[in-house]
Chains A and B, each alone.
Chain A
Amino acid sequence: DAKTTQPTSMDCAEGRAANLPCNHSTISGNEYVYWYRQIHSQGPQYIIHGLKNNETNEMASLIITEDRKSSTLILPHATLRDTAVYYCIVVYTVTGANNLFFGTGTRLTVIP
């Protein structure tokens, strides 16, 4: 199963773009990259996912490199409410189940 590597923590100024990197060098061709975030002991919140192409939704953009070995989550205009632990996850399947393997994530702190 593919694993991910993320920085332990990052800071971002309020109103600026937050760029969260993730390495997943052992990803397989049919494995998706997902991003979730968790705000202080609440349930994780789905942000975005992608396979090969870059993706954008109302929350964020996901940029996946051409070799798929790394990706970047972009929050275009960070607010204080974006302070959370962000998990980059490669989804692997075990007997048909889509398992989310959460690592330790990146703790993003948005600074006023």
Chain B
Amino acid sequence: ETGVTQSPTHLIKTRGQQVTLRCSSQSGHNTVSWYQQALGQGPQFIFQYYREEENGRGNFPPRFSGLQFPNYSSELNVNALELDDSALYLCASSLARVAGDDEQFFGPGTRLTVL
């Protein structure tokens, strides 16, 4: 148990729809990262939020957006869903210590299926 929770566990959407995934970080963690994991692949970094501002972004289009709130919760929003967006979405929280010296704790993930 990492203390990081995600909701919902599973979700089914159709192409073109919008989706919001939620994450609750460990208490006191000021940084949250989101990852996409396609079947059979390792997780891919989407973006990171530090104190409610985007702090870095991977190779994902702008239709992937996020929010981080003061109460240690955060959201991942995906607009105009495509079939390739079907994946396990993981959030990870951390304390953002010295750059690089900062272990991330992952939630169980949300399995998104786009039909």
The interface of chain A, by Cβ under 8 A from chain B, is 30-32, 34, 41-46, 49, 51, 87, 91-105
| Min CB gap A71→B, angstroms | 15
Contact of A100 among B43, B107, B111 (CB under 8 A): B43
B55 adjacent to A51 (CB under 8 Å): no
Contact of A98 with B99 in the complex, beta carbons under 8 Å: yes
Contact with B103, one of A34, A87, A104 (Cβ below 8 angstroms): A34
Report chain B residues within 8 Å CB of A93. Answer: 56, 99-100
From the candidates B90, B100, B108, name the one contacting A98 in the complex (CB within 8 A): B100
Residues of the A chain whose Cβ atoms lie less than 8 Å from the Cβ of B16:
none
Most buried by B among A91, A95, A99, A103: A99
What number of B residues sit within 8 Å (CB to CB) of A? 33
* Residues of B contacting A103 in the complex (Cβ-Cβ under 8 angstroms): 42
* B 57-69 binary contact with A (CB < 8 Å = 1; else 0): 1100000000000
Name B residues whose Cβ lies closer than 8 Å to a Cβ of A: 2, 4, 33, 35, 41-45, 47-48, 50, 55-58, 88, 90, 92, 94, 96, 99-109, 111
Chain A residues near B106 (CB-CB < 8 A): 43-46
A91 touches B100 (CB 8 A): yes
**Which residue of chain B is the closest to A104 with respect to CB atoms?**
B42
B94 x A102 contact (CB < 8 A): no
New contact pairs (8) apart from A30-B100, A43-B107, A99-B58, CB-CB < 8 Å: A43-B90, A45-B2, A51-B100, A94-B57, A96-B56, A98-B100, A100-B43, A102-B44
Q: Which residues of A contact B57 (CB under 8 A)?
A: 94
With contacts A34-B103, A46-B104 taken as known, whether A101 is within 8 angstroms of B109 at the C-beta atoms is no
A-B complex: 3 closest residue pairs judged by Cβ atoms = A97-B56, A102-B42, A43-B106
CB closest chain-A residue, reference B56: A97
A93-B99, A102-B44 as given contacts; A41 in contact with B109, CB under 8 Å: yes
Give bound CA distance, A41 to B102, whole Å.
Answer: 23
